[in-house]
Structure 1
Amino acid sequence: MKIVYMGTPDFAVPALAALVEAGHEIGYVVTQPDAVRDRGKKVKMTPVKEKALELGLKALQPEKIKKDAEFFETLKAYAPDLIAVAAYGQILPKELLDLPKLGCVNIHGSLLPRFRGAAPIQRAILEGDEETGITLMYMEEGLDTGAMLAKCSTPIEKKNCAQLHDELAQMGAQLLVESLPALAAGELAAQPQDDAKSTYAPMIAKKDGEIDFSQSPQRIERLIRAFDPWPGAYTSYQGKLLKIWQADVTDAKCQEPPGTIVGVSEKGIEISAGGGTLLAEIIQLPGKKRVAVRDYLKGNSIEKGSVLG
């Protein structure tokens, strides 16, 4: 099958590799332009471009797809059977959606119609869903509104975002490759989404990681997992930024003001939250690495009675 693959971040890498391994012809890989990433101030390739070059594939990086006539003509001349997309990062215009004979299919990291949008993995954890998964869907002009072709699911349990991200990326790659023969044969029945059941997963901002200790300890524990690795769940301790990377919910009730440190031990820092308590187990202070509280206490102290935030 002649395929154009479109993707940008780490999430999109496994599917590209899986398509090549399955023997499909990848005429072009389309990814976002190189940009300054991380703190190094250096211009870096996207993860998908790095993988494409490693596989000997041609990479295209249009600034704005809608305004790039040369880009469209290049794909039109290639005449792909399919355009496969995973976390590309730009809205595809109708002329591109209509180009391949088998359509444009997208790997989306949720069980649609739940969590349409940019951050489905984080939102599924944050909202306490028991499971999430991958939806393979036709793309249309709406945001993640296209008909669904296939799904697979996984329990969330106590996974953090990084763990769930990597698992779903592999699941998406497998689901795409396994679905292509039936798609080419016209044997995949597309199921429309029920818009009445749809929810939206907006992009995560750095401020979303700030911990509100008036919320329940259960929700704060989910927030900690949902925002690992970015932006991290954070508060302040004695004027310094404090990130909490792992926590547990205790059975204790507590009427101290939210954010009050009510206990310190090798098990962790016990914090008043929403009428209960949260046990912070792994923390990080500015300029330091993540560390278990028991190890932090070997050379430092945490003041009981201090209020975080």
Structure 2
Amino acid sequence: MQGFYTKYVKTLLFLAQKTCILKLIIKVINNTSGSTTYSLKIKREHERINWHKSALEVHNQVRAFNPAPGAYSILGDKVIKIWETSLSDLTCNAKIGQVMIDKERLLVVALNRTVLEIRSLQVAGKKRISALDFVHSLDKNKSYFFD
């Protein structure tokens, strides 16, 4: 196997020199020292979104757990799996976890008044839907909070 990697590295270096596009410095490390590391098993409580984190941290959690196992939160008595989010440039003085609707967008307030836009989600037992479709199902006169 070592011969394959050596040949691969030499080919990359040759191509880099010929094209003058990039310079590579590759250091091959043989991992025979027994320094193998393993990640922790992901548990159900790791998947649950903590809205007392910044919008960036929540956004990264959703991206990390997508598609499996997925990130979720509780809205009222419903489990909501959040599939896709984006960071919003808005800030808000509302309470953490409060759901807001702004021009057909589903926004949630996170730590330090940062705001996260939810783009697609899935209510437990239902199909994945866009946030716009979910917004249409909400009562506009009622306040909603993610736990």
Q: Same fold judged by TM-score > 0.5?
A: yes
RMSD between aligned residues? 2.4
**Structure 2 regions of 5+ residues with no counterpart?**
3-27
Deviation at 1:280, TM superposition (A): 0.6
The secondary structure found in structure 2 opposite 1:282 is strand
Q: Write the mapping of 1:179-258 to structure 2, written as runs, cut at 5 A.
A: 201-258=39-96
Cα shift at 1:253: 1.4
Distance in structure 2 (CA, Å) of the matches to 1:302 and 1:231? 30
Q: Matches of 2:30 and 2:61 in 1, distance apart?
A: 28
5+ residue gaps, structure 1:
1-81, 83-101, 103-134, 145-199
How far does residue 260 in structure 1 lie from its aligned partner after superposition?
0.5
Q: 4+ residue stretches of structure 1 with deviation over 3 A? A: 139-142
Deviations 1:64-122 (A, max 9, x none): xxxxxxxxxxxxxxxxxx6xxxxxxxxxxxxxxxxxxx7xxxxxxxxxxxxxxxxxxxx
Q: 1:140: Cα distance to partner?
A: 4.2
Structure 2: how far apart are the matches of 1:295 and 1:136? 50
TM-score (norm 2): 0.70
TM-score of the aligned structures, taking structure 1 as reference length: 0.35
- The residue type paired with residue 307 of structure 1 is F
Query: What is the CA distance between 1:142 and its match in structure 2?
Result: 3.4
Tell me the residue number matched to 2:35. Answer: 142
Greater relative contact order: 1 or 2 (C-alpha under 8 angstroms, separation 6 or more)?
Answer: 2
Q: Does 1:286 align with 2:132?
A: no
What is the distance in 1 between the residues matched to 2:96 and 2:61?
Answer: 16
Q: Which residue of 1 aligns with 2:25?
A: none
What amino acid is the match of 1:233? A
How many Å separate the matches in 1 of 2:125 and 2:55?
A: 27
Query: Is contact 2:101–2:135 with CA below 8 Å preserved after alignment?
Result: no
In structure 1, distance between residues paired with 2:89 and 2:135: 24
Aligned AA (1:272) = V
Deviations 1:184-233 (A, max 9, x none): xxxxxxxxxxxxxxxx7433222111111111101110100000122211
